Amino acid sequence: MVESLFTRLMRDAAIHNHRRLLVISGSHLWCLQQVKPLVEKVDITISDSFGGVEKQITSSQSHKLLGKTLSSIIFDAWSGFNPNRFGQVSGTIGGGGVLVLLCPDLDEWPAFDDPEHAALVASPYTTEDVGRRFISRIAMLLEDDAYTVICRESKELAGVEIELPELPDTAKPQEEAILPNKTPDQQKAVELILSQFRRGRRPVVLTADRGRGKSVALGIAAAQLSGLDFEQILVTAPEFETVEELFAMAGQLLPDYQHEKGSLHKGQHSIRYLSPEKALQESGGGKVLLVDEAAAIPVPILSALLERFPRIAFASTVHGYEGTGQGFSLRFKKVLNTLTPKWKGLHLKQPIRWSDNDPLERLVFNLLLLNAEASECSSDLPLEDSELSVRLLDRDQLAEDYQTLSQLFGLLTLAHYRTTPGDLRILLDSPNLYIWLLRSNHHVIGAVLVSDEGPLPAELIEKIWAGERRPRGHLLPQALVCQEGALQAASLKAGRVMRIAVHPVLHRKGLGTKILQYVIGQSKQMGWDYLGSSYAANPELQHFWHQNGFDTVRIGSVRDSVSGSHAALVMCALNEKGKTVQTGLRERFIEQLNYRLSDDLVDLEVAVVCRLLQHAGFTPVLTPHDKSDLKAFSYHNRSYESCAFAIHKLLLRCLDKISDDRLLSLLGNPDFQRLVERNLQQKSWSELDQAGTGRKQMMRQFRSVVEQLLDGEERLNV
């Protein structure tokens, strides 16, 4: 029966150029028996259950399908339902294709001990403690979907005949595109890139849902640009698999180029792939940079690439499992407006790999909340205390409240560039998660997600301290024990702030502080000894945490490969036990900071350095001899080296006493920033002289900065 049903679905999908979902739901043995005739017919089977099948991969290998277009896939949820991988798989099926989903009986699926549950728990929790809300929601939506065909063991036994629902109408395109473009949208995207790049620093931003051909558009543009005056076309993305389609299209259009993985070249002309970090090391002059899946790359890295490359195009999926295109659009467009106001954008609407109104696309959007939208609210929304409410969510109620769930997940996607469907499952099912919501009337305008961590298992503490074990979860206590050697932190219970989000139109109104302070007030009732968080260090977030009573107790030695920033760890003690640990860690951090700035933190952003020192409490005394040296340096020709230590003390004193407004003013002065890099971070003169101004010119700039700082020091001490 299933084999004939599958054949009918393939035929029906091909007629409409749509994609269909066939659900095989029942006992494990029955499901395997039903699809056994299909495993040789489909393009790939994603499962751990079928032995000896040639075209089979495990769920963890599904990323290998990125960039491919397939006609039929079996996805075995008995081997685990990973939301991100299900999204990846659905996006690879082309028009006329069928996705076959194997799962337990829909009524019993929520109770099934999904192998993916292990990724949601940390000691002392077990998989039995994992919620069943996510799968309950999936099963309900599958049963309610008008175009999903469900073959259930229980109905087969009852002799119920399965009918195919009629597919929606397909809109025919009104315009034809010029080859090699498949749609007018794709053609407009290529033309926009070519026209903008002829005019200098005019970036392009392409956005689209999956299947609209944006990556191929970049490939067409790369081939055409390589045939013009541009010898080096660089391509970057979170991983090479993302841009395989780009290189395949460019290769088709450039048959006389030599093809290698991640590279096309002929003489001096080349198109080559680089990771975002490697792209930052390239000089941008005379080169083109094409950035694919930009939403999955941190905004600080995108901003640095934007400044480095005069000719740059960004493409991103708006609703995708790779990252959050909505958040990317909102946050990065602010950067574009500031740095390159002549940028232009284009949204590609028409699908290429399937027709409009595709049933599978709409269903996957609903299942994984890829279409979640933050609440629509304006900057004049009432924010008086009487209009605001903060409360701890009941997640059973949240799972049934579609509007609140959608607003919350939509808010999180705007707030964090790496929000994925997997986070939806964590949101609903993780046993150690607490969610506080901030509302104005019926609008969700803020949220704080806190995970319960610690104490560490007593039998593992020494091995964690020695770096021999790293049990799942417990990020804060493990970092403090393993990285900072604070064994006393192992026995403490912590609340780790995983996410804190406020609606973008309501930023800088004190709402983040309001909801965080409410959480702090409730934290003692949760049994926590301290609250903490680990975040990608930047000046704005540093100021937020410090203003709310959190101390920085750790800065990571290397930049995180995902965020592109150093990780900072902050703490806020809730009782004496927490305060004792926090005080010790804080004192040790400050004791080491001055040394580390010229060692492992030498590449830390100047603004972050200054914020740390602003709260470090360094107050060295300027002796009469120091002041004499500083005046000799500022007003005369005393060498930098003979006055460097006096300048060092002056910088520390000024940063300790400085107001926020004065610090922002200084950070706007590139000469001050360069002095911090030379004096506090001990960067060489050659490292500082990127613009080729020469040491003499830098000395004049340094003398001017020291004069200003010395004048401010003297006025403070009048």
Write phi, then psi, for 671 (nearest 5 degrees). Answer: -70, -40
Asked whether residue 257 carries a pLDDT value surpassing 60, the answer given is yes
pLDDT attached to residue 210: 85
Per residue in 192-226, pLDDT tens?
A: 999 999 887 899 999 998 889 999 999 999 999 99
Judge: domain 2-157, CATH 3.40.640.10: no
pLDDT attached to residue 326: 59
> 385-601 has which CATH code?
3.40.630.30
Per residue in 653-674, pLDDT tens?
A: 999 988 989 999 999 999 999 9
Of the two residues 228 and 593, the one the predictor is more confident about is 593
Per residue in 383-427, pLDDT tens?
A: 888 889 999 999 999 999 999 999 999 999 888 767 889 999 999
pLDDT attached to residue 715: 60
pLDDT attached to residue 716: 53
pLDDT attached to residue 171: 59
Asked whether residue 718 carries a pLDDT value surpassing 50, the answer given is no
Give the range among 96-110, 320-334, 498-512 with minimum mean pLDDT. Answer: 320-334
> 184-348 has which CATH code?
3.40.50.300
Q: What percent of the chain has pLDDT over 90?
A: 72
Q: What is the mean pLDDT of the chain?
A: 91
Query: In which band, very low, low, confident or very high, does the pLDDT at 167 lie, cut at 50, 70 and 90?
Result: confident
Per residue in 126-145, pLDDT tens?
A: 999 999 999 999 999 999 99
259 forms beta bridges with 264
* Helices 670-679 + 660-667 axis angle, to 10: 90
Query: In which band, very low, low, confident or very high, does the pLDDT at 329 lie, cut at 50, 70 and 90?
Result: low
Asked whether residue 324 carries a pLDDT value surpassing 70, the answer given is no
Q: Which amino acid is at 424?
A: L
Euclidean distance between the first and final Cα of the chain, in Å? 92
Give span(s): CATH 3.40.630.30, the chain. 385-601
Give the tokens for residue 44: 């790939």
Cβ-Cβ contacts under 8 Å for 264 (sequence gap 6 or more): 226, 247, 250, 251, 254, 257, 258, 270, 271, 272
Q: Distance between CA atoms of 271 and 233, rounded to whole angstroms? A: 5
3-class SS at 22? strand
Query: In which band, very low, low, confident or very high, does the pLDDT at 112 lie, cut at 50, 70 and 90?
Result: very high
Q: Distance between CA atoms of 515 and 64, rounded to whole angstroms? A: 42
What is the Cβ-side half-sphere exposure of residue 400, based on CA atoms within 13 angstroms? 3
pLDDT attached to residue 157: 61
Q: Distance between CA atoms of 359 and 93, rounded to whole angstroms? A: 12
Of the two residues 517 and 293, the one the predictor is more confident about is 517
Q: Which amino acid is at 660?
A: D
Give span(s): CATH 3.40.50.11040, the chain. 2-157
Across 574-601, average pLDDT: 96
Nearest CA to 581 among 473, 700, 681, 490?
490
Q: Would you give the DSSP letter of residue 479?
A: I
pLDDT attached to residue 692: 74
Which residue shows structure tokens 């309001």?
514
pLDDT attached to residue 562: 65
Q: Which amino acid is at 458?
A: A
Across 161-171, average pLDDT: 71
What is the Cβ-side half-sphere exposure of residue 458, based on CA atoms within 13 angstroms? 0
Asked whether residue 588 carries a pLDDT value surpassing 80, the answer given is yes
Q: Distance between CA atoms of 223 and 345, rounded to whole angstroms? A: 21
Of the two residues 65 and 126, the one the predictor is more confident about is 126
The number of residues in the chain equals 718
Write phi, then psi, for 687 (nearest 5 degrees). Answer: -65, -35
Nearest CA to 223 among 200, 173, 257, 176?
257
Per residue in 522-570, pLDDT tens?
A: 998 899 999 999 999 999 999 999 999 999 999 999 887 667 789 999 9
